[in-house]
């Protein structure tokens, strides 16, 4: 029996031409990556700010204006630069008509990050309110927009203000949903801009941000481990590098192109890694050196200026360009020539640094050889484990370099116990969310060498699932979410996992990939309404809403939350706390205090900081 198939009608009426900026509003992900609620540094609302600042940075890089003022009031951001100002006769078109801009003309802008004529227009389209002002030669031009549509264009007026551009915008709540800007994310973004643009003053809500030493300042201010030798800082036309070694495991990189922070690296970062390893090998004249030993503990930053850069996504987080410019050398050759000459010269002059570096490489080599047999067996064991086993329930997307946006959406939940992992597995988005199940409490890895990563089955399989053995470039998930019960055992498991990451993969945390899942402590409901409460304050508010007949359930573990309910807590509105590391969070001292053998000191700390919740006392 033939199956009846209804073929949808397809006529001229189905073909639409989207006018103005409607396409941006219909498909925002094409222009700003993901949306988000502001709880992650890569959420779309921060991309909007970045797009506006990029234009101001381009003015500075063209030696026009050395100050940018940024202000945040509730959900409205304003950016005022002191560059040349948008040509006033084309100002409205410059912020509202796609493929209109001054950066197609290389005479006006060179080595700019925003060459596609989209940035400010996307911000305009995705904002409920957008105002632009251009100050030029004693006159100001103003225009107001709502959701990308011109509301009012003002005549030219006289002004005493200095030349430049002012833009204010409020991200549209109908696009982004409920969101909140986090000042710490904005400040980190602005600090990165300052490192790459020495001489530029950025003022954020009255706070001055400035860098005098570029990438040297960046490494100093982001260091969480003691440097083995003073940071080496080298620069020339179109390139700047800084590096040092620490006693932490793995490699840590900060890479930039034309002032843009390429958080996923790209051709320039890969070229630097290769060039650095090869140069050190040749300097010490030891072909037997392994590149992994040379780069173990390396913390480095590279900034490159490229003509008409090509990025692998609209959010510009990974460089795809292979050439420095139309007639210039390849990026790999340019970086290799610079590193080979400058790093080699430096080491010949600073023999003390060279000696310290050699000892670090030899220590890494010694440890690698000591665990060689273990790692080989562990790799084989991990490869034999199917990604469909009980340990890892993977997600469907298989991303590659051309699907950066998919990678941004991917996440993996690390949880413990069959009931908790079962609930998450049944509730998750199978396309983008994976689940890794622990068997009981992980080992306290503090004080162990990396050998334990391969000897311990849990750690070995977790490392294989994340694909981070050879560094973060192969990381399969953008968010690593620790999902444990909110009781003492759950907190302990959380701490043990963080110890593992801090010990052996600190860059995961530094790059903002590790999160803690917040789940509700209470469910308050009556016959009509249900409220999930994450704090005692929220519980009290919910009780007022449901009235005297309200029913309260306290969740003591993730396994008590049904899959039907869990779907509310791991969807687009899930609450995540990002795990962060600051300079003052010296990792070795931190782990020694919390995970070491100083039991009396830790007991005193707990007693001194104990807070008793009287609601738990019966």
Give the total number of structural domains in the chain.
Answer: 4
- Tokens 């410019």 identify what position? 325
Burial class for 201, CB neighbours closer than 10 Å (0-12, 13-18, 19+): middle
Where a domain ends, among 209, 236, 269?
Answer: 209
Residues 581 and 509 in one domain: yes
Query: Between the ranges 251-260, 307-316, 337-346, where is the mean pLDDT highest?
Result: 337-346
Antiparallel, parallel or unpaired: β 201-204 and 67-73: parallel
For the cut 50, the answer to whether the pLDDT of residue 123 exceeds it is yes
Report the C-alpha gap between 612 and 256 in whole angstroms: 47
- The length of the chain, given as a count of residues: 618
Query: Model pTM?
Result: 0.76
pLDDT of 532 > 50? The answer is: yes
pLDDT at 115 > cutoff 60: no
Tell me the pLDDT of the chain averaged across its residues.
83
Angstrom distances, CA of residue 362 to CA of 216, 244, 353, 423? 26, 16, 14, 47
| Domain membership flag for residue 610 | yes
**Domain closes at, from 184, 209, 234:** 209
| 332 or 407, which is more confident | 332
- 444 assigned to some structural domain: yes
Which stretch of 114-118, 209-213, 252-256, 456-460 has the lowest confidence by average pLDDT? 114-118
Instruction: Say if 14 falls within a structural domain.
Output: no
Cβ atoms of 129 and 116 within 8 Å: the answer is: no
Structural domain includes residue 70:
yes
* Percent share of the chain, pLDDT over 70: 83
Bigger pLDDT: 481 vs 310: 481
Beta-carbon count within 10 A of 566 CB: 22
Q: Angle, nearest 10°, between helix axes 351-370 and 267-284? A: 100
pLDDT tens for 173-201 read 999 888 999 999 999 999 999 999 989 99
Q: Are residues 352 and 334 in the same domain?
A: yes
Q: How many CA atoms lie within 13 A of 96 on its CB side?
A: 22
263 touches 42 (CB < 8 A): yes
DSSP-based three-state secondary structure for 83: coil
489 and 357, same domain (yes or no)? no
Residue 379 lies in a domain: yes
Reported as a single tens digit per residue, the pLDDT across 462-510 is: 988 898 887 787 888 989 999 988 777 888 888 889 889 988 898 898 8
Same domain, 449 and 345: no
> Which of the pair, 310 or 279, is modelled with greater confidence?
279
pLDDT at 281 over 90: yes
DSSP string spanning 114-160? --SS-HHHHHHHTEEEEEEEEEETTEEEEEEEETTEEEEEPPPEE--
Banded pLDDT at 393 (limits 50, 70, 90): confident
Residues 359 and 469 in one domain: no
At 388 the pLDDT is 47
- For residues 346 and 426, membership in a common domain is answered with no
Residues 320 and 380 grouped into a single domain: no
Which of 49-63, 100-114, 206-220, 310-324 comes out lowest in average pLDDT?
Answer: 100-114
pLDDT at 31 over 80: no
Structural domain contains residue 17: no
- Helix H or strand E segment including 381: helix 372-384
Cα within 13 Å of Cα(229), Cβ side: 21
Q: Do 197 and 278 fall into the same domain?
A: no
335 and 222 in a single domain? The answer is yes
Domain-embedded: residue 10: no
Asked if residue 195 and residue 77 are part of one domain, the reply reads yes
What are the structure tokens assigned to 246, written together?
Answer: 């620490």
CA pair distance 103, 88, nearest whole angstrom: 16
d(CA 406, CA 400): 9
For residues 57 and 204, membership in a common domain is answered with: yes
* Buried-exposed string 495-527: b where 16+ CB fall within 10 A, e elsewhere: bbbbbbbbbbbbbbbbbbbbbbbebbbbbbbee
Residue 337's CATH number: 3.30.230.10
* 251 and 384 part of one domain: no
Match 């340990």 to its residue by tokens: 391
CATH of the domain at 141: 3.30.565.10
pLDDT, tens only, 152-180: 999 999 999 999 999 999 999 999 888 99
- Domain end residue (candidates: 310, 343, 370): 370
Instruction: Tell me the CA distances in angstroms from 324 to 44, 239, 262, 279, 332, one per residue in order.
Output: 29, 11, 16, 21, 9
SS3 content of the chain, % helix, strand, coil (to 5): 40, 20, 40
CA neighbor of 457 nearest in space, from 476, 443, 446, 475: 443
H-helix segments, 410-485: 418-427, 451-455, 457-466
Residue 390's domain comprises 373-519+557-616
Nearest of 95, 114, 96, 90 to residue 104 by alpha carbon: 114
Structure tokens that stand for 289 in this block: 């050196």
Q: Each residue of 55-104: pLDDT tens digit?
A: 998 889 888 999 999 999 999 999 999 999 999 988 998 898 875 555 54
Q: In sequence order, what are the beta bridge partners of 416?
A: 438
pLDDT at residue 246, rounded to an integer? 93
Query: Does residue 58 belong to any structural domain of this protein?
Result: yes
pLDDT of residue 600: 58
Please, which residues bridge with residue 183 across strands?
Answer: none
Enter the DSSP assignment of 518: E
Cβ-Cβ contacts under 8 Å for 616 (sequence gap 6 or more): none
Any idea what the CATH number is for the domain that residue 382 is in? Answer: 3.40.50.670
**Alpha-carbon gap, residue 151 to 169, rounded angstroms:** 14
Confidence tier at 10 by pLDDT (50, 70, 90): very low
């Amino acid at each position: 029996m033939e199956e009846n198939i209804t073929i949808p009608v397809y006529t001229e009426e189905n073909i639409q031409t989207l006018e103005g900026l409607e396409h941006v509003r219909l498909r925002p992900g094409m222009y700003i990556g993901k949306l988000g609620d502001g709880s992650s540094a890569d959420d779309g609302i921060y991309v909007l700010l970045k797009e506006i600042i990029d234009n101001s940075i381009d003015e500075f890089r063209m030696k026009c204006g050395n100050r940018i003022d940024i202000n945040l009031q509730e959900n409205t951001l304003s950016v005022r630069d002191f560059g040349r100002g948008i040509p006033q006769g084309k100002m409205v078109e410059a912020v509202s008509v796609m493929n209109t801009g001054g950066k197609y003309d290389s005479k006006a802008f060179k080595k700019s990050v925003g060459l596609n004529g989209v940035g400010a227009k996307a911000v305009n389209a995705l904002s409920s309110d957008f105002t632009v002002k251009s100050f030029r030669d004693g006159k100001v031009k103003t225009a107001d927009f709502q959701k990308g549509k011109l509301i009012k264009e003002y005549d030219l007026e006289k002004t005493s203000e200095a030349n430049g551009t002012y833009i204010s915008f409020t991200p549209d709540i109908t696009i982004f949903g409920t969101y909140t800007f986090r000042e710490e994310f904005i400040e980190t973004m602005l600090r990165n801009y300052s490192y790459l643009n020495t001489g530029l003053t950025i003022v954020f809500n009255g706070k001055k941000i400035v860098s005098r030493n570029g990438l040297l300042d960046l490494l100093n201010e982001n260091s969480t481990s003691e440097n083995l030798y003073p940071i080496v800082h080298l620069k020339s036309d179109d390139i700047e590098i800084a590096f040092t070694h620490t006693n932490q495991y793995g490699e840590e990189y900060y890479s930039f192109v034309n002032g843009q922070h390429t958080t996923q690296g790209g051709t320039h970062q890969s070229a630097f890694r290769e060039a650095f390893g090869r140069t050190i090998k040749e300097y010490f004249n030891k072909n037997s050196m392994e590149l992994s030993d040379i780069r173990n503990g390396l913390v480095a930053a590279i900034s490159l200026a490229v003509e008409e850069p090509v990025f692998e996504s609209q959010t510009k987080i990974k460089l795809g360009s292979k050439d420095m410019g139309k007639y210039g050398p390849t990026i790999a050759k340019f970086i290799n020539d610079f590193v080979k000459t400058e790093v080699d010269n430096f080491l010949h002059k600073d023999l003390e640094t060279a000696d310290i570096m050699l000892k670090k490489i030899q220590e890494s080599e010694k440890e690698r050889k000591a665990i060689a047999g273990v790692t080989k067996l562990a790799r084989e064991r991990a490869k034999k484990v199917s990604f469909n086993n009980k340990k890892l329930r993977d997600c469907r997307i298989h991303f590659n370099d051309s699907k950066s946006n998919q990678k941004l959406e991917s996440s993996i939940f690390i949880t413990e116990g069959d009931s908790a992992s079962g609930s998450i597995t049944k509730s998750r988005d199978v396309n983008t969310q994976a689940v890794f199940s622990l068997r009981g409490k992980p080992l306290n890895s503090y004080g162990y060498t990396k050998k334990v990563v391969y000897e311990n089955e849990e750690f070995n399989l977790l490392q294989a699932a994340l694909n981070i053995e050879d560094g973060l470039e192969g990381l399969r998930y953008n968010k690593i979410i620790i999902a444990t019960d909110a009781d003492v055992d759950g907190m302990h498991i959380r701490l043990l996992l963080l110890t593992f990451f801090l010990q052996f993969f600190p860059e995961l945390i530094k790059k903002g990939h590790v999160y803690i899942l917040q789940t509700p402590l209470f469910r308050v409901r009556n016959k009509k309404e249900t409220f999930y409460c994450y704090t005692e304050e929220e519980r009290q508010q919910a009780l007022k809403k449901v009235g005297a007949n309200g029913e309260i359930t306290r969740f003591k573990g993730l396994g008590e939350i049904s899959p039907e309910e869990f779907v509310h807590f791991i969807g687009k509105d899930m609450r995540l706390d990002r795990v962060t590391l600051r300079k003052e969070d010296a990792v070795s001292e931190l782990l020694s205090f919390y995970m070491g053998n100083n039991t009396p000191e830790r007991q005193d700390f707990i007693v001194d900081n104990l807070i008793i919740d009287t609601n738990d006392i019966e």
